[in-house]
Amino acid sequence: MARVLEMSFSTELGRSITLRVANAKDPLTGAEVAACMDNIIAKNIFTSTGGDLTGKIKAQVVTTTSSDVSLV
């Protein structure tokens, strides 16, 4: 089972950008994610075509499973 943390941010030009982190730890608290997002914004770590990241929109953990399918 794969866990991906998706963090959505607003940008200077009013757009949104989503950063994905593979293999997110379990459990992961909202406080930890909020602090991480605040740190990314404060340190201006990433930029986009929409400009610098300016705010938090949402965060979610996406969990996926896979099953092999017999081809015969």
Of the pLDDT bands very low, low, confident and very high (cuts 50, 70, 90), residue 37 is: very high
The token pair at 33 is 């994610």
Rounded mean pLDDT of 18-43? Answer: 96
pLDDT digits (tens, 9 = 90+) for 43-58: 999 988 999 999 999 9
pTM above 0.85, yes or no: yes
The token pair at 13 is 């030009």
Per-residue burial over 30-47, b = 16 or more CB atoms within 10 Å of its CB, e = otherwise: eeebeebbeebbeeeeee
Whether the pLDDT of residue 72 is over 90: the answer is no
Strands 51-64 and 47-48: antiparallel
Query: Which residue is it, tokens 């909020």?
Result: 34
